[in-house]
A = this chain, B = another copy of it.
Amino acid sequence: MSSRSQAIADTLTRAIIDHRLVPGCKLGERELAEIFNVSRIVVRQALIRLADDGLAQIERNRGAFVAKPGMQEAIEIYDALTLVEQGVAAQLSDRLGPVGWAELRQHVERQRQAVANGNDALADVLGQEYHTVFVRLSRNKVMQDIHAQLLRRTTLLRSLITADFDYCNLLDDHARLIDLLEKGRLKQAMELIDTHHRAVVRGYIMDRQVFPEMTPREALAPYLEGSLNGVAKPAVAKKMEEEGAKATHRHVHASKQT
């Protein structure tokens, strides 16, 4: 393993994109140090990594908090994501061979099956992963890192919103994008990426108030190595289960850990 601070940063990242640690949540050094059973210094280093990634915000002499982006920043993140994916699309439309297209199609198919089976949590993960696979095909690690970071930040954003859009629609977009690109209709493909993300960000109604409902200790418990309780579940998914399937479509926006 690389360094302990990196491991802790990874765990915190996981917890944040699983929506177990929500924006605004205080990340006290001493508290985290106790939770992870390490010294404060290691925690501090982890927090620095998180802040560099845009997932945490460190305020001098006040401590670190899970980042709480405003609407403006949300728009900027999605604009940046659009820009990156459009660029990758342009590259792929030239260079990608049939094997690549097949991989993408297969991925979409897996997501379609997940939707058919009612496994919304899996479908959501696959929906996210599609974008990752897409960018990976560019064979550019630098670009992949940038994109992955942007994706994490969009996932964080979903903690702040009421998800009221239908992502079955978005699944179609994924399939259509492949078709358009393979046929070389780049202009339309880029248009599609733009509308796709706009559809997402339009659905965002930032309800400024987010209530933690969990202490960091509870939120992080499932990730600690001592845990024998199986795999950690996203906070939202859990809530959904408790509430039962009230809506016809359940929109789970948390990612399951790999």
Nearest CB of chain B from residue A215's CB, rounded to whole Å: 27
The yes or no answer to A10 lying at the interface (CB within 8 A) is no
Q: Is the interface of A mostly helix, strand, loop or mixed?
A: helix
CA distance A52 to B44 in the complex (A): 15
**Of the 9-residue stretches A122-130, A138-146, A244-252, which lies at the interface with chain B?**
A138-146
The residue of chain B having its C-beta at the shortest distance from the C-beta of A87 within the complex is: B83
Taking a contact as CB atoms under 8 Å apart, the answer to whether B48 and A79 are in contact is no
Instruction: Report how far A91 CA is from B79 CA in the complex, Å.
Output: 10
Q: Within the complex, what minimum Cβ distance (angstroms) separates A140 from chain B? A: 5
Instruction: For chain A, give the interface size range.
Output: 20 to 34
Chain B residues positioned under 8 Å from A150 (CB to CB) = 142
> In chain A, residues 65-88, which have Cβ atoms closer than 8 Å to a Cβ of chain B?
73, 76-77, 79-80, 83-84, 86-88
Cα A86 to Cα B90 in complex, Å, equals 11
Give the chain B neighbours of A79 by CB distance below 8 A.
91, 140, 142-143
Query: Is A2 among interface residues, defined by CB-CB distance under 8 A?
Result: yes
Interface mask (A1-28 → B, CB under 8 Å = 1, otherwise 0): 0110100000000000000000000000
Do B48 and A80 have beta carbons less than 8 Å apart? Answer: no
Q: Chain B nearest CB: distance from A27 CB in Å? A: 16
Give residues in A with beta carbon < 8 Å to B. 2-3, 5, 41, 44-45, 48-49, 52-54, 58, 60, 73, 76-77, 79-80, 83-84, 86-88, 90-91, 140-143, 146, 150
